[in-house]
Structure 1
Amino acid sequence: MNILAFGEVMMRLMPPDYKLLSQSDSLNFLYTGTGVNILSGLYKMGNTVYLATSLPSNNVGYAAAANLRKLGINDNYILYKNQHIGIYFLEMGIGDRPSRVTYMNRKDSSFANSNIEDYEIEKMLEGKSCIHLCGISLAINENIRNLVYTLAKKAKEKNIKVIFDCNFRESLWKEEEKIKAKEEYEKILKLSDIVFAGEKDGELLLGIEAPEELKGNDKTKFILNSMRKLYGIEIMVGTKRRNDGKKQFLQGYLLDNEDFILSKEYELTIYDRVGAGDGFAAGAIHGILNGFDKKEAIEFATCSGVLAHTTYGDSPVLGVEDIKRFMNNKHVDLIR
């Protein structure tokens, strides 16, 4: 499959050894972003992947592009302009202390300052099976919102599947913009074929209310099905997390006009939490686009998400063989 994603590339800076920023005098760094992460996973699964974005026209931007190429991401649609890249600091949690993310410089980044005229949209969409768009991009500014909407509309006109990840981050929206958030999301949802969402997206962002008597999976199914019908979405996909003491569990779901299918529930071993949801998304996109039956697709996606928790960095790096080995309960301590 030829898959295009549009989104921001960020630099992740992280103190080593679970230290806080106040304790550390050194930082590890890597390049990341929702589109980057999902495309990285899809490449490892055997797909051809492209990222449309804008990077700074300096050595930081060129280094970011070099790292994308290492992940198997085609850089034909990357622009180089301005001087800044979005940054976030990750203080890795351990035990009862949660991880903490602090964003820096996103409003001044090369990506945030790009506009429709910078991109050759017709060329970008030519020959693509689908396009992935992320709700985080909607929070950046009006320019990027217009770009996301234009790409979704053009893709829809060309019968290219539109995949949208709600990924709503309340902290990224200014107070005066939050009133617009629902409207902006609805514009994209009406053009989307496959949507990654949870019940909180339906409740808190879109104002969908489930009957009080519905609990657990019944409530999730009601809210997601309401979203699916309201916006004409083909497939809804997502995950549910459950805590039991200090243990955490992950379960995936897939909903269409016929079925609400749940994966098995898996206990998580967490080495690096950030980007694990993108591992799930990559697995779901691969399974759906490559014709897996629905039960296999959601099981494959969930196993991909579970394994993404066990690797360093935001970008999934495990392929189909690793995921299917785990999916088929073939636990191996050492592969020689």
Structure 2
Amino acid sequence: MKIVTFGELLFRFSPVGNQRFSQASSYEATVGGAEANIAMSLAQYGDNVEYVTVVPNDELGLSAVREVKKWGVNIDPILYQGNKMGFYFLEKGGSLRGGSVIYDRAGSSFTEIDANTFDWDELLKDADWFHWSGITPALSQGAAEASLAAIQAANRKGIPVSCDLNYRSKLWKYGVDPKEVMPELIKGTSIVLANEEDVAMYLGIKPSESDYEHIEGFDKRCYKFISEALVEQFPNIDCVVTTLRQTINASHNRWSGVTYNGCEFIQGDVHEIPSIVDRVGGGDSFMAAYIHGKTNFNDDQKTLDFALAASAYKLSIPGDYNIATEQEVFQIMDKSSIKKINR
């Protein structure tokens, strides 16, 4: 089983501790990026995973790639060209103060790709799964075209395609309406992770007040409305996944999720997370674990609960990506073993 992920590799810079940008005199550097995070997480479960991206052939690009390789990801498809690494700056939140992100990705090596940069038929010739995210087509017209070329190649080969829609308002800056780009990409995708903002901004699907319902332990949500609307508009979708997050404050969240297969809804376990170490990458760790479950468990409830446990675990780990084995995630699912020392 080979899984291929595609997206930009980044350096993340964060003020030390919980300082604000205006206070910081030094920054911690880590490597990440949505699709790289997923690849590194999958590799920890023992999956065969390849990561496709472009970085400059300089010390920064090579250093970032070494970090990905260190965690067991096949980096052979990576291209080395262009002149700039993508960066983002994260001010971590805490208690009542939320976090803040500043992107420095314009003009990066990755944004200069187009539909012909990669030979997708060759890259996917023996693949069993392909994953992309809504972050990639937000970066440039060429990145959107490359995403479509990859999805169409996967479709020709009958390879399942998954996507985290991941709407990022600060990235869609190259003069195109996301609603002109995303529908064609979603048409070729079989498993979609989405929330209300994603479908509103990408597809213009906006729920009314009557579409919301109260979920015990969470705010009002309308996952049923958006899931059914997505499946109705895109018959190619086999499964819609929605995560449920109740933010008590920036350090304390309640976490769960729901899947819809076109016939029934399945709700997962609820995790109380009272002391978040690093909120970034929670969705990526969920998506990685969900892909692992879909390709290994043959049980939708177990897959969802595994993904929720994995992402809850990630929130205790600094950095962008999850460092958890399958066994460690199972221990989180077995809540009686939580917080015990592994002796």
Question: Where do residues 102-117 of structure 1 align in structure 2 (5 Å cutoff)?
Answer: 102-104=102-104, 106-117=105-116
> Displacement, 1:258?
2.1
Q: Specify the alignment match of 2:320 in structure 1.
A: 314
Q: Specify the alignment match of 2:134 in structure 1.
A: 135
Q: Specify the alignment match of 1:235 in structure 2.
A: 239
Question: Where do residues 42-81 of structure 1 align in structure 2 (5 Å cutoff)?
Answer: 42-81=42-81
Q: 1:252·1:301 contact (CA, 8 Å) conserved in 2?
A: no
> Displacement, 1:120?
2.4
Q: Specify the alignment match of 1:331 in structure 2.
A: 338
Distance 1:282 1:110 in 2: 25
- The residue type equivalent to 1:294 in the other structure is D
Q: 1:303·1:323 contact (CA, 8 Å) conserved in 2?
A: yes
Structure 2 counterpart SS, 1:167: coil
Distance 2:301 2:110 in 1: 37
> Displacement, 1:182?
1.1
> Displacement, 1:332?
3.8
> Displacement, 1:211?
5.1
1:257 to 242, 257, 262: 262
**Cα offsets for 1:137-194 (capped at 9, x unmatched):** 11111111110001001100100111111001122113842xx311211001110011
After TM superposition, the runs of 4+ consecutive aligned structure 1 residues lying more than 6 A away are none
Q: Specify the alignment match of 2:36 in structure 1.
A: 36
> Displacement, 1:204?
3.8
Structure 2 counterpart SS, 1:213: helix
> Displacement, 1:90?
1.1
Q: How many residues align?
A: 333
Q: Specify the alignment match of 2:222 in structure 1.
A: 219
Identity %: 29
- The residue type equivalent to 2:307 in the other structure is A
Q: Specify the alignment match of 2:218 in structure 1.
A: none
Q: Specify the alignment match of 1:18 in structure 2.
A: 18
Greater Cα shift, 242-251 or 27-36: 242-251
Structure 2 counterpart SS, 1:12: strand
**Cα offsets for 1:272-307 (capped at 9, x unmatched):** 011111111111111112133111111111111111
Q: 2:90·2:99 contact (CA, 8 Å) conserved in 1?
A: yes
Distance 2:7 2:103 in 1: 16
Distance 2:116 2:11 in 1: 25
Q: 2:139·2:174 contact (CA, 8 Å) conserved in 1?
A: no
Distance 1:175 1:86 in 2: 16
Distance 1:89 1:60 in 2: 16
* TM-score scaled by length of structure 1: 0.95
CA separation of 1:211 and 1:26: change in aligned 2, threshold 3 A: closer
Q: 1:203·1:223 contact (CA, 8 Å) conserved in 2?
A: no
Structure 1 counterpart SS, 2:135: helix
Greater Cα shift, 166-175 or 144-153: 166-175
Structure 2 counterpart SS, 1:118: coil
Task: Report whether the alignment pairs 1:202 with 2:199.
Answer: yes
Distance 1:107 1:67 in 2: 23
Distance 2:252 2:339 in 1: 22
**Cα offsets for 1:52-73 (capped at 9, x unmatched):** 1101011111111111101211
Gaps of 5+ in 2: 216-220
> Displacement, 1:119?
1.7
* TM-score scaled by length of structure 2: 0.93
> Displacement, 1:220?
1.4
Gaps of 5+ in 1: none
Question: Where do residues 172-183 of structure 1 align in structure 2 (5 Å cutoff)?
Answer: 172-174=171-173, 176-177=175-176, 180-183=177-180
1:305 to 294, 301, 311: 311
- The residue type equivalent to 2:342 in the other structure is I
Q: Specify the alignment match of 2:148 in structure 1.
A: 149
